[in-house]
Amino acid sequence: MRHTIIQALIGSGLLLVGLNASAQPPRADRYYSRGEFENTQSLFRQVRADIDRAERNSDEYVENRPRFDRVRGELSELQRQWDEGEYAPRQVDTVIVALQRVLADNNLTYRDRDALAADLSQLRDFRANHGY
């Protein structure tokens, strides 16, 4: 009898642990190595900082402001997907196209153009290394 009660308690405990683990939301660190996750977050922050700086350095009345907003929006979606472990390579393509449109703007400073071109290259490398 005592043996049966102990087995029942152990079985119940394992069941509760299993249910608790499956109820937790997915976390990105379950899908990527910690270093890879942090390096990618760093890339996203760098692209965002370069876009913000380029927008600040652009003429106030340039009609291309929506291009900056588009890159930020697409980058935010990519970052959300990456954070939630739902990365879709086509989202990187969308960010790359939006960034190319910003680079086509002739009102960028040389420094901003160089920084954004480097970001574009890094995003292409990221896409090549994380495509499915």
Does the pLDDT of residue 10 top 50, yes or no? yes
CB contact burial 55-80 (16+ within 10 A = b; e otherwise): beebeeeeebeebbebbbebbeebbe
pLDDT per residue as tens digits for the range 68-120 = 999 999 999 999 998 898 888 899 999 999 999 999 877 889 999 999 999 99
Q: What is residue 48's predicted lDDT score, i.e. its pLDDT?
A: 96
pLDDT per residue as tens digits for the range 34-79 = 677 788 889 999 999 999 999 998 876 667 788 999 999 999 999 9
Q: Which residue has the higher pLDDT, 122 or 24?
A: 122
* CB 102 within 8 Å of CB 115: no
Domain boundaries, the chain: 27-130
Does the pLDDT of residue 32 top 80, yes or no? no
Does the pLDDT of residue 124 top 70, yes or no? yes
